[in-house]
Amino acid sequence: MNIQTQIDELIKTHGKERKALMPILQDLAKQNRFLSKETLQYIGIKMDISAAEVYGTASFYSFLDITRRGENVIRVCKTISCDMKNKQLIVDTIKKRLNIGVGETSHDNKFTLLETNCMGHCHEGPVMLVNDDIYTNLTPQKTLEIIDKYSRG
């Protein structure tokens, strides 16, 4: 199904009112892994919302990717709670293993590394999310095992 058909179907499901924008963006991001400029423009046209407002909404939320990402998106919590529990050691471990920096995607397009705000597990930090899977109480060794699991598929 092409993106325009997906949008049309989601509008039928959620409606055209402004309050339907977030559920539509969330569903599209889940189905397509990111929201292209053309996708956001088409949503604006179909919902009679300015493209700037649609883009502003999509770009505000860190879990709505407006840039193409790798097959596996790793998000490491960057709050002070995780920072105090050696979050930087986890980020450095990932950077070294995948040979990428924060905000970058591996050459094989298998991984993207991002930092994000609180994921609601402050008492179990450091925390990372890989796609939809949450991992808590991370150590460098546990982090490497997780990355290896996703590397194998």
| pLDDT tens string 89-147 | 999 999 999 999 999 999 999 999 999 988 889 899 999 999 989 999 999 999 999 99
> Among the CATH numbers 3.90.1170.50, 3.40.50.300, 3.40.30.10, 3.30.390.10, which is that of 72-152?
3.40.30.10
pLDDT at 142: 98
pLDDT at 86: 93
Domain with CATH 3.40.30.10 in the chain: 72-152
pLDDT at residue 1, as a whole number: 80
Write the pLDDT tens digit of every residue in 45-87.
999 999 999 999 999 887 888 888 999 999 999 999 988 999 9
Q: Residue 109: what pLDDT?
A: 94
Instruction: Supply the DSSP string of 65-128, one letter for each residue.
Output: -SS---SEEEEEE-SHHHHHTTHHHHHHHHHHHHT--TT-B-TTSSEEEEEES--S-GGG-S-E
